Amino acid sequence: MLGTLIVQGIGKNSVMAIKVRSLIAIKKSPFQEIIVADVEEFGKALILDGYLQSTVADEFIYHESLVHPAMILHPNPKRVLIIGGGEGATLREVLKHNMVEEAVMVDIDKDVIELSKEYLPEMHQGSFFNKRSKVVIDDGKNFVEKEIKRGAQYDVVIMDLTDPYSSEIAKELYTKQFLEKISMILVEDGVFATQAGSRFFYREVYEDVANAAKNVFKYVAEYQVWIPSFGYSCNFIIGSKNFDTKILLNHENVDKVLRLRGVETRFINGKRIAAMLSMGIY
């Protein structure tokens, strides 16, 4: 924070400055500095350790892009695990799929969730209070290890963490060793999805995450979406044991599945998913 500006790093030597209208809440949790602010052009924003995570103006682009390709890829995602996702927007998008019976969201920082519940209703839209939601305060790594021990299984696992290069908290969860543990709690036809920051600015870090996924899952797809408030194209990775994205994520099938499941979106549709997967990454 510098006066009335939020100055966030978007690359090793590049920054983006956003003017603050007002500060809504500031708290130092045991894990990170949490800021909720009203910023110019983007409205309410969640900022963790100086990295802008979500804004009301464009969070739907990020969250729809993270959630729906993976959810559509699975034919019947009844149990879904979300690791991270403190503002509740990933949970919101998962719950749009009408066959979901339980969505478990695990976040290490209770303070992020409590501040989001109070100050960011535009983002969570009540998802924390949905009867199909289960919110757990725990380290994602510890939670997954406990789920392995008790033989828990999920149809889809989605990681909505801080970038692999921006937080020591999240760094371990992007490794091959952790993705192997994710694979162990996925059903045989399970699907995994994660955001992986910016390949353009942090190519080596991104490639490490992508290669980890390729070493664990039979089918891996990579795509990217421009997020205005991030100042870069955010990269995403899907891993699947059985489902080839090239076959199932064609635009006709995507629109059909969204319609049958009663999913309403603002950004994602069949043509956009097909375009994201076909255009490649840079």
**Which residues make up the CATH 3.40.50.150 domain(s) of the chain?**
59-279
Mean pLDDT of the chain: 93
* Residue partners of 187: CB distance under 8 A and separation at least 6: 153, 154, 155
pLDDT grade, residue 258 (50/70/90)?
Answer: very high
pLDDT digits (tens, 9 = 90+) for 48-77: 888 889 999 999 999 999 999 999 999 999
> DSSP 3-state assignment of 152?
coil
167 pLDDT tier (thresholds 50, 70, 90): low
Does residue 104 surpass a pLDDT of 70? yes
**What's the CATH class of domain 59-279?**
alpha beta
The 8-class DSSP code of residue 181 comes to H
* Predicted TM-score (pTM) of this structure: 0.94
Sheet holding 51-55, edge to edge: 5-9, 15-28, 33-39, 43-48, 51-55
With 60 as the cut, is the pLDDT of residue 1 above it? no
Nearest CA among 94, 109, 125, 89 for reference residue 29:
109
Angle at 107 between CA 18 and CA 104, to 5 degrees: 120
What is the C-alpha separation between 220 and 67, in angstroms, rounded?
A: 15
> Taking a C-beta distance cutoff of 8 angstroms, is the pair 51, 45 a contact?
no
Q: Which residues make up the CATH 2.30.140.10 domain(s) of the chain?
A: 5-53
What amino acid positions are annotated as catalytic residues?
A: 160
CATH number of the domain located at residue range(s) 5-53 in this protein: 2.30.140.10
Kindly give, in sequence order, each residue whose CB lies less than 8 Å from that of residue 24, ignoring residues fewer than 6 positions away.
36, 37, 38, 44, 119
Rg, the chain, Cα only: 18
- The full length of the chain comes to 282
State the binding site for spermidine.
63, 87
C-alpha pair distances (Å), 34 with each of 20, 44, 167, 262: 15, 13, 13, 34
Instruction: Note the pLDDT tens digit of each residue in 12-29.
Output: 888 888 999 999 999 999
Structure token digits, residue 122 = 């535009």
CB proximity list for 202: less than 8 A, separation 6 or greater: 11, 12, 163, 164, 165
Write the pLDDT tens digit of every residue in 205-221: 999 999 999 999 999 99
End-to-end CA distance of the chain: 30
Residues 62, 195 contacting (CB under 8 angstroms): yes
Annotated binding site: 32, 63, 87, 107, 139-140
